[in-house]
Amino acid sequence: MQLDSRFAARLAARDLEAARSAGLGADELALLAAADPAALTADREGRRRAQFLRNVAGEFALSLAAAARPELAEEFPASAELHAAVAADGSLPLAFALFLAARTKTAPPLVRALLALEGALARLRREVRPAVALEPGQVALAPWVELLAVPAGTLAAAGALRAALDRGAPTPIGVGVAEAATERLLLRRAPEPPPFGLPAVEVEELAPALAELLARAARPLGREPRPAGAQAVEVAPAELEEVVAGLVAERVLVAG
């Protein structure tokens, strides 16, 4: 309510639909409807709102810089994505990613590519795929690893934009991506993240053959299908087993 004055006004008017959307019962609605509207919106120089937006948008600095629409984040507090997340006790940064995606559908390819990257990183910091049961000899992509396909040049553009932001240079800068081609990225975080706070994440570009192998390991991959996979990625079967063993050692793959 303090961040969305229109929603606050609807509750003050005892709008039942607004109350339902927030999961409020009759008593709670009465309490909120009786709140002093001046006290509800008191926020010296908008500091509280600004701090909220800084925190919730902090993981999307590249997308926002590339979008070059300062008012974009300002629209988040009144968005359906924020209200849905609050009602469901969901993650506000992940809701912000959905909000940005919905509002940048027609944005330049660079913006959408960076948002795909930053959104995937934000999810990886918070969500872990459940581990799959593996039989002896099987390998699979580790739960703390994700593969991401983005337009070619995305990772380099992200690096250039990050460097520009870090040195305080004006953005956007002259970088772009090529939608006609794809680069595949490996996103990974620590297998055992700290119990409180967000884990660090790393991104690296994958060679096409390695990307193909890891994509095949999205589902449990036994020994038998691997020679066919070796053919697909153009390595000898014995060499492929060495690569797989190395990936297991690096904890990119997990083995049964």
Partner 1 sequence: MAFDPLAPFAARAAALPRLGLGISSEFGAAEHGLDPLALRRAHPRLAQFLEVGVDLERGIDATARAWCAAGWPTTHHFLDANLEERESLSDAWLAAVRAQARELGAAWLCGDAGLWHLGPRDRGHGVLAPPILCADSAREMAENVWRMREATGFEVLPENPPAHLYLGELHLCDYFAQVAAAADCGLLLDVAHLAIYQRASRCAPLDGLDGYPLERVIEIHVAGASEFEHAGRRFVDDDHGPTPLADTWAILAHVLPRAPRLRALVFECERNAAHEVLPGFRRLERAWADAARAA
Site residues (vs partner 1, CB under 8 A): 2, 31-32, 35-45, 47, 52, 55-59, 85-86, 89-93, 96, 126, 195-198
Nearest distance from residue 93's CB to partner 1, in Å? 5
Q: Which residues contact 192 (CB under 8 A, 6 or more apart)?
A: none
The values of phi and psi at residue 203, to 5°, are -130, 135
Nearest distance from residue 90's CB to partner 1, in Å? 7
Residue with tokens 């053959």: 209
Nearest distance from residue 128's CB to partner 1, in Å? 15
Choose among 245, 137, 131, 253: nearest CA to 186: 253
**Of residues 67 and 122, the one with the C-beta less far from partner 1:** 122
Apex 139 CA angle, 137 and 141, nearest 5: 175
Nearest distance from residue 184's CB to partner 1, in Å? 28
**Of residues 2 and 215, the one with the C-beta less far from partner 1:** 2
**Of residues 25 and 208, the one with the C-beta less far from partner 1:** 25
Nearest distance from residue 196's CB to partner 1, in Å? 4
Helices (H) and strands (E) in the chain, counts: 14, 5
The values of phi and psi at residue 207, to 5°, are -65, 150
**Of residues 174 and 195, the one with the C-beta less far from partner 1:** 195
**Of residues 37 and 237, the one with the C-beta less far from partner 1:** 37
Half-sphere exposure of 32 (CA within 13 A, CB side): 24
Nearest distance from residue 78's CB to partner 1, in Å? 16
CA distance linking residue 88 with residue 71, whole number of Å? 26
Nearest distance from residue 47's CB to partner 1, in Å? 8
Instruction: Find the largest Cα–Cα distance for the chain.
Output: 74
**Of residues 187 and 213, the one with the C-beta less far from partner 1:** 187
Q: Which residues contact 38 (CB under 8 A, 6 or more apart)?
A: none
CA distance linking residue 43 with residue 45, whole number of Å? 6
Residue with tokens 């990886």: 124
Q: Which two tokens stand for residue 247?
A: 């990936």
**Of residues 45 and 224, the one with the C-beta less far from partner 1:** 45
Residues facing 188 on adjacent strands: 145, 202
